[in-house]
Structure formats: structure tokens, C-alpha cells
Amino acid sequence: MQRWIFPSIVFLAVAVKLWLTSDIRIVPTFTPHDALNFVEHAKFILAGEWFGTYDVYTLIKQPSFPIYLAAVKEAGISLPLANQLLYALGCVVACIAVRPIIRNPLPLAAIFIAILFNPFTYSAYAWVAFRSQLNQSLVLLVAACAAGILNRRKAPPPVLLSWSLGLGFSFAAFWLTREESIWLIPCIALVLTAQVVYSWRERRPAPALALPAIGLLSIWFVSIEIIKTINGLVYGWPVTAERVAGEYVSAYNALARIAAPTSERHVPIPRAARAIAYRVSPAARQLESTFEGDNGRFWTRESCRADRVCDDIGGGWMEWAFRDAVAGAGYYKSAASARQFYVRLATELDAACDGGTIRCKAKQLTVLPFVHFDDVPAVFGTFVRGVSIVGSFSNFSVEPAADPARSYPQLLQDDYAFVVGAIAAGDPRLTNADHEMKAALRRVLGTVYQRILPYWLVSASLLAAFDAIRRVCRRSVFMPEHAILFAGTLLSAATLIGGLAILDSLLEPVISHPEYTSSAVPLILFSLALTTAVDGSIAHRLIRRRLTIRRV
């Protein structure tokens, strides 16, 4: 009878979650760089045309999400339902992964519920075809498979292989979903390193030591090469996304490294630097009419509206203005043409910099701005603010991120309707009779998480510290499996918040944006629930033992 407790609770919890989120609809938004871009790509995939005819939007983002959208359409279900089912699957896999260290079905079910009702799975961005919903499920699957490998390092090779394959495929999908996926590497590296060290200490056979890392790296590398090969064959540029391609990054940084007489924070390539580039580079001169014309004025208005930088093109808008300028110069008729132009632009500007013709800063390897010593206080202050935001869910909201009243009716029967299924034919707050009731319940649940999470983080950290002290007193240097996942979670969350703090301080306001921060939430909930269940049980037993001794 006891073995049915966990499956029964899982079934009931998933049913409640699906009912609670059943009124969520996708709001059509004309966002050619984001939601609309993903939906159009999925439409082309379903038509057998990969990402369609090449233009400035074709390879701007990583490919996992459009592929996922196409798969959802083929499955015949709506995107909101698919998001919830995939996340529920991640929760189940996470609980199976820790089954060797938590055998009691009730604590295991509590872990499942704590992760399942993650507020950001039904928050504002559940209403838009954005990558954040897929990313949360993939993060959870990656962490769960890594934990499964560590917890089953003594299992037969076929069992270890299955978890290794799960880790490889989920991490490859995660890596190819967003451009900043590097933040999850610290957690995975720590867990797999512990698996190797512990397996070696326990004299496990060589396959047990090497299989997970080999499986992860092989599937990750092959997945990237497959996407590069397809893009190379179809478009002539073997990349997963142009914004991480070496040619594009080099060209962008060649402009960004020019030392302008005047500079402003949040303006990566100021107008004065562009003027210098036009003077010394024939390739850059071809961008002037578009960069400084209507295109530049449009992106200046956008940066003024969003970032309050009103006298130049600020923040992340600069990337889109730069690409539009290249397109305006006629170089986005083919991927080969765009690629060659970026190489020529970088070569000319770098030659002017290295030859001393113009003053330049050191060249960066990424599009992230360089952090000077004077920037450290601002970055650190933003990092602390980011920790507070992530640790309190203060950026959670249940209302649609896009205003349903401003949705685009022409998309209802075209791209959105074709791919995502359940869409808002009108304002869902009016067309769904039970919307207000479910929204109120979601708001209450979110508030509960917001109130509990700060105390939960502190108490879980104290429990982990208590267990660590006990082990030091016993002269044991090996951390338990759940503590390794907890430490890895803190490292990865700090890496994500640190990267966002740099962007927020030097480029554009992103630290409070749920689209970026929500990816870490499932990992945090998973590790907190696991640490509480294991270390809380140990602390409870010790306290009871002390009380019993005193009574005797």
C-alpha cells in the first residue's frame, strides 16, 4: 500500500496544477526578435523549410525553443499545457533521482509539490511564447539527471548509462535554448566531479568514473555540430546562432573597443565612437546612413522608453541597431554575405586599433561589457539586489506579461494559431469565467512562496552548515550527495546573478527581469527541498535523542 502513496500524490498534485493553470492562454505579441520569431521559425520547421528564407532575424537566437514549439504542434496539444506537462515530468525525474537517499514517500511527495508549484511556471511569462518556460523544465531535468548519476554511482552500467544519456540530451537542449547557458556549468561540474571522486574512493570500475562525463560531452558536442551543419548547409554559415558566432562577436567588439572622447554607462558604442569608425573603416562607413538615420533614431527611442537612455542607442538595443544597420547596407541577403562583412569590419577596425591610428581598449571575447575597477561597487550592489530579488521572488506576477488588449488580431489566424494552439482570442480576463478565481489562487500561492523563501533559504543553509560541522568533527571531508547539489546550486545561481549584475550595471536593466532570473528557480527549489528533507530529518533525530537522554 505504501508504494502507491507517492504516485497517488503526484497524480493529484499534477491534476490540481493543470486545473489551476487551465485558463492560461498565449497572448499574440508582435515581437520580431522574440516570441513572433520563435513561432515563425516553428512554422517553417513544420513546413520542412528549417528556419525559412534567410534574413536579419533568421539566426538571432538559439534553436531549441522553435524546435520545441514544432514538436508541441505535432503532438496536438497547446503550448501552455505542454509547458506544464514537461515541467511536471522534470519534477518526477527529480524525485526519482533522489529516491536512493529519501525512501519515505511522504518527504519525497513534499519535495515534488514544492518544486511543482513553482510560481514562475504560471507567472506573467507563461502567457507569451518565450523561452523561459522551456528553460525552467530543462534546468530541472539537467539537475535531476546529474543528481541521479551521483546517487546511483554504484548501480549497474545500464542504469548509469540511462541517467548519463538523460543528462547529455537535457543539457544539450538547455545549451541550445538561450545564449547565456554557461551559468549552469558550475553546478554540473561540481556534481560530476563529486561522482568521479566518490566512485574512485569506492573503487568503482573505470566506466563508472568516465561514463557520465563522456556521455554529457559527446551528446553536447554532437548536438551543437548537428545544428551548425544544418545551418551551414541551408544558409552557408555553420553556427548555432549568429550572436555567439566568432565573426559577429569580433565585429561587434571591434566597434565597442574604440575609445571615444566621451562615453556613457549603458551606451556600449557611443555616437562619437561610431564617427571614428566611419572615418577609418570603409566597411563601417557603409553603416553610417542607416546607423545615424531612421534606424538609429528608432532604436534610440526604444532605449529611451525602456532604459531611459535618450540621447543615444543604449543597452542591449545596440546589438539590434547594429544588425539592422548591416541589413540596411545590403549584407543580409545571404548568410555568407553577412559573415564576410563582419569579418571585413573587424579586420579593418582592429588594424586601425593595433596600428595606433585610433585609440582603442582591449578587445573582448564576448559581447559582455568589460568591468573596470571603478565599476566593481556598482556591480556588487546590483549583485546584492539580484540575490534579494531571486531569494524573495519579488519579481513574480500572475498577470500576462503582454497586455491582451494590445494583442495583434492578424496573428490569431496565422502564425500563433498555427503553432501554439490555445491563444487569447480576446482578453482572457474577460473570456474565461473562472480566470479571476484561478488568478487569485495563483497569486496566493506566489505570495506564500515569497513569504517563505527567504526564511527557507536561511534555515536550509543553517541545516547544511550544521551537517558540515558534524562531519568536520568526525573528520570526514566528503560531503553527502544532497549537500553537493546544494553547493552547486548556490554556485550556479551566483554565476547567473553575477552575469546579470554586470549587464544591469553596465548595459541595460535586466536583474529584475523574470525572463532571465526564473531559470534558476527550479534548481533552487529542488536543492532547498532536498536539503530540508535530509538534514531536517537528521536534526530532528538528534534533537529527539538529546531529549530522550535528558529524560533518562
Q: Is the pLDDT score of 122 beyond 80?
A: yes
Q: Which amino acid is at 449?
A: Y
Task: Identify the band that residue 473 occupies on the pLDDT scale cut at 50, 70 and 90.
Answer: confident
State pLDDT tens for residues 185-232.
999 999 999 998 888 888 777 777 788 888 899 999 999 999 999 999
State pLDDT tens for residues 224-255.
999 999 999 999 999 999 999 999 999 999 99
Q: What is the pLDDT of residue 400?
A: 80
Q: Do residues 29 and 4 lie in contact, with contact meaning Cβ atoms separated by under 8 Å?
A: no
Q: Is the pLDDT score of 453 beyond 70?
A: yes
The CA-based angle 140-146-149, given to 5 degrees, is 140
Report CA dihedral (214, 63, 319, 52) to the nearest 10 degrees.
Answer: 140
Q: Is the pLDDT score of 158 beyond 70?
A: yes
List, in order, residues 6 or more apart from 115 with CB less than 8 Å away.
90, 91, 94, 140, 522, 525, 526, 529
Q: Is the pLDDT score of 133 beyond 60?
A: yes
d(CA 247, CA 334): 15
Percent of the chain exceeding pLDDT 90 equals 61
List, in order, residues 6 or more apart from 61 with CB less than 8 Å away.
33, 34, 37, 38, 131, 179, 241, 243
Q: What is the mean pLDDT of residues 430-449?
A: 85
Task: Identify the band that residue 541 occupies on the pLDDT scale cut at 50, 70 and 90.
Answer: low
